[in-house]
């Protein structure tokens, strides 16, 4: 798969990271690689693939820090896809993981936080090729 106007480097690096984490049984590394892959898909406007990968990343073994971050990103992807109920549910999971990890969570009501997450995913300009 190609990302960012034909630059295959990101896709190749993620693919290699997934192979290496599988080979050594590094479940946390696999979750992180899947999360990065999900973000790349989201930035390429492939939301359904991004959500599937983010769900896989969250389904594997993880620590609270990884789960907190992965679930918040997944909530953001659900928001971009207009899946409002899933946003709220995933935010509640994320809050639980953030608190268990001793990390601060945004001090906003769920409805306000949902409103901030329900918008399109912007493409990262640093990955775009300039002609």
Q: Report the pLDDT value the prediction gives residue 1, as an integer from 0 to 100.
A: 43
Q: Considering only the top CATH level, what class is 9-121?
A: mainly alpha
Mean pLDDT, contiguous 10-residue spans, the chain (131 residues): 56 83 84 85 87 89 82 90 90 92 88 80 52 42
Domain ranges for the chain, please list them.
9-121
Q: Report the pLDDT value the prediction gives residue 96, as an integer from 0 to 100.
A: 92
Q: Report the pLDDT value the prediction gives residue 52, as an integer from 0 to 100.
A: 94
Q: Report the pLDDT value the prediction gives residue 4, as an integer from 0 to 100.
A: 46
Q: Report the pLDDT value the prediction gives residue 69, as an integer from 0 to 100.
A: 85
Q: What SS3 string covers the chain?
A: CCECCCECHHHHHHHHHHHHHHHHCCHHHHHHHHHHHHHHHHHCCCHHHHHHHHHHHHHCCCCHHHHHHHHHHHHHHHHHCCCHHHHHHHHHHHHHHHHHCCCCCCCCCHHHHHHHHCCCCCCCHHHCCCC
Q: Report the pLDDT value the prediction gives residue 129, as an integer from 0 to 100.
A: 47
Q: Report the pLDDT value the prediction gives residue 130, as an integer from 0 to 100.
A: 45
Q: Report the pLDDT value the prediction gives residue 2, as an integer from 0 to 100.
A: 45
């Amino acid at each position: 798969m190609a990302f960012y106007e034909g630059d295959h480097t990101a896709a190749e690096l993620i693919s290699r990271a997934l192979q290496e984490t599988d080979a050594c049984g590094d479940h946390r590394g696999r979750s992180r690689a899947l999360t990065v892959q999900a973000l790349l898909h989201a930035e390429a406007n492939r939301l359904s693939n991004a959500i599937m990968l983010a769900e896989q990343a969250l389904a594997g073994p993880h620590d609270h820090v990884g789960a907190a971050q992965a679930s918040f990103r997944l909530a953001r992807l659900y928001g971009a896809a207009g899946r409002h109920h899933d946003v709220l549910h995933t935010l509640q999971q994320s809050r639980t993981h953030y608190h268990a990890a001793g990390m601060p969570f945004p001090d906003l009501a769920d409805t306000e936080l949902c409103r901030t997450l329900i918008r399109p995913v912007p493409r990262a300009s640093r990955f775009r090729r300039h002609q």
